[in-house]
Amino acid sequence: MSRPRAAIVVTGSELVRGERTDLNGPFFAREALGLGLDPARITVVGDQAEDLEDALRAAVADAELCFVSGGLGPTHDDRTVAIVASVSGRELVLDAELEHRIEEISRSFADRLRRPYADFAGGVRKQALVPAGSIVLGPAGTAPGLVVEADGCVVVVMPGPPSELRRLWPAALATAPVQAVLARARRPSRRALRFFGASESAVAKALADAGGDGDGVEATICARDFEIHVDLIVEPDAEARADLIAAGLRTPLERYLFAEDERTVQEIVLGLCRDRGLTLASAESCTGGLVAARLTEVPGSSEVFLGGVVAYADTVKREELGVPDEVLATHGAVSAETAGAMAAGVRQRLGAGIGLAVTGVAGPGGGTEEKPVGLVFFHAVGPDGEEALRLELPGDREWIRTRSAVTALHLVRRLLEPERVRNRH
């Protein structure tokens, strides 16, 4: 039995023009997958009526559940509700209670902006028109969500702003038509394997050697900043097969394996520090704050992470991190010696258990024959030892900075992992 298919339609001119990246399609897709549906397609269209209508008709014809976002606003180019009504063969009717609620919201909005309510009145009426027989959710903001059936497909219409969508999402899932589709879904389990430093083709080969995916286990292999993320989506009757595949990946690639869950490396590093009662401080040159920004994106990171120094100029390396003049003069700012002195310096200055440093040439300028763009030195030092690393990274400035930040965090992981796994990368 196959899982019910889900189709996703996202509307927004700025999305189809590539001026903003769509976040709602991936959100719906992850949710669909977790609910045991088969996300078949994400279509992004602009605000031209015929494009949205084509996309909706195709989605309704192809899927049991269709998620639509965007185009619910008060202006003329917000056409989603009218087109959903047309595709589902329903009339647009005024929902008086909804109109009243939107009016209240808009009046308080007009007050705050000190603008006459008349500026908003036309939009209020438009936003209270819904396809006959739809279930109205919200509104969040001024736009309501809707659940409506069309040709045997349940269409869930949600506002475009991601925060509004997420606020209305639980209510959409709780409606009877959505629950009826979910009752036919088979909620899969998920397994995650996370590798650092392995090549994508080595991981693909290990998967193929383990028999490949299929037969109830779908595998995705995804390379992300030197990490390879393998996710197994496992049907309820395929757990034994998933065990075999996971073992087939684990054995040849064990030294690269760093997690069997979905934690990020910054979460792992903060957890290792917390377990050992150690605090952490960073000293960054070419990554310019990205290491600190990644660490501090984790709630509660302040228990472990004391802070850091972004030492872009050599004077800052010298004065704030105590890198000796002699080291800078002899070896240069981009050197193993400077990285070591930065790590020791930030550890001492900030009184941290662990000091972590990155220095390199991010480009596009500043490279020399001896020290080309992409040359980066890493150093981590703690109470029981230190780890150093030198890499020559390909790619552009953003690529080099991002991968350097991730590599720096993995260096701390390696420094702190228990002995039995210390021979891993």
What residues from 204 to 243 belong to the interface with its own copies (CB under 8 A)?
204-205, 208, 212, 218, 220-222, 224, 229, 231, 233
In angstroms, what is the minimal distance from the CB of 284 to its own copies? 8
Q: How many CA atoms lie within 13 A of 413 on its CB side?
A: 24
What distance in Å separates the CA atoms of residue 76 and residue 71, rounded to the nearest whole number? 10
What distance in Å separates the CA atoms of residue 392 and residue 372, rounded to the nearest whole number? 8
Torsion of CA 8, 152, 148, 7, to 10 degrees: 0
Q: Is 362 helix (H, G, I), strand (E, B) or coil?
A: coil
Cis before 139 (ω within 30): yes
In angstroms, what is the minimal distance from the CB of 132 to its own copies? 29
Residue 92 main-chain phi, psi, to 5 deg: -85, 125
Q: 131 vs 318, which CB is nearer to its own copies?
A: 318
Q: 80 vs 134, which CB is nearer to its own copies?
A: 80
- What's the DSSP call for residue 134? P
Of residues 62 through 91, those in contact with its own copies by CB under 8 A are: 62, 75-76
Quick check: 228 and 215 in contact, CB under 8 A? no
Q: 69 vs 134, which CB is nearer to its own copies?
A: 69
Q: 95 vs 284, which CB is nearer to its own copies?
A: 284
Residue 252 binds to its own copies (criterion: CB under 8 A): no
For its own copies, which stretch binds (CB under 8 A), given 132-140, 143-151, 398-406, 414-422? 398-406
Q: 171 vs 202, which CB is nearer to its own copies?
A: 202
In angstroms, what is the minimal distance from the CB of 157 to its own copies? 19
Of residues 142 through 201, those in contact with its own copies by CB under 8 A are: 163, 199, 201
Of residues 45 through 64, those in contact with its own copies by CB under 8 A are: 45-46, 48, 51, 54-55, 58, 62
Q: Given candidates 3, 4, 28, 249, which one binds its own copies under the rule CB under 8 A?
A: 28
For its own copies, which stretch binds (CB under 8 A), given 150-158, 253-261, 315-323, 382-390? 315-323
Q: 342-363 burial string, b = 16+ CB within 10 Å, else e?
A: bbbbbbebbebbbbbbbbbbbb
Q: Given candidates 35, 42, 206, 408, which one binds its own copies under the rule CB under 8 A?
A: 42
For its own copies, which stretch binds (CB under 8 A), given 112-120, 129-137, 173-181, 417-425? 112-120
What distance in Å separates the CA atoms of residue 28 and residue 56, rounded to the nearest whole number? 16
Residue 119 binds to its own copies (criterion: CB under 8 A): yes
Q: 16 vs 327, which CB is nearer to its own copies?
A: 16
CB contact set of 421 (below 8 Å; sequence gap of 6+): none
What distance in Å separates the CA atoms of residue 307 and residue 304, rounded to the nearest whole number? 9
Q: 23 vs 93, which CB is nearer to its own copies?
A: 23
Q: 90 vs 274, which CB is nearer to its own copies?
A: 274
Task: Report how far apart, in Å, the C-alpha atoms of 272 and of each of 61, 299, 389 are.
Answer: 50, 15, 20
Binding track, positions 370-389, relative to its own copies; x by CB under 8 A: --------------------
CB contact set of 344 (below 8 Å; sequence gap of 6+): 322, 355, 381
Q: 118 vs 183, which CB is nearer to its own copies?
A: 118
What distance in Å separates the CA atoms of residue 138 and residue 156, rounded to the nearest whole number? 13
Residue 14 binds to its own copies (criterion: CB under 8 A): yes
Distance of alpha carbon 166 from the chain centroid: 15
Residue 104 binds to its own copies (criterion: CB under 8 A): no
What distance in Å separates the CA atoms of residue 102 and residue 125, rounded to the nearest whole number? 9
Of residues 282 through 311, those in contact with its own copies by CB under 8 A are: 282, 284, 286-293, 295-297, 299-302, 305-311
In angstroms, what is the minimal distance from the CB of 33 to its own copies? 5
In angstroms, what is the minimal distance from the CB of 310 to its own copies? 4
Residue 63 main-chain phi, psi, to 5 deg: -130, 160
For its own copies, which stretch binds (CB under 8 A), given 30-38, 83-91, 171-179, 235-243? 30-38
Residue 26 binds to its own copies (criterion: CB under 8 A): yes
Of residues 327 through 366, those in contact with its own copies by CB under 8 A are: 349-351, 362-366
Quick check: 119 and 162 in contact, CB under 8 A? no
Q: How many CA atoms lie within 13 A of 274 on its CB side?
A: 12
Quick check: 386 and 205 in contact, CB under 8 A? no
How do beta strands 375-382 and 257-259 pair? unpaired
The size of the interface with its own copies (CB under 8 A), counted in residues, is: 99
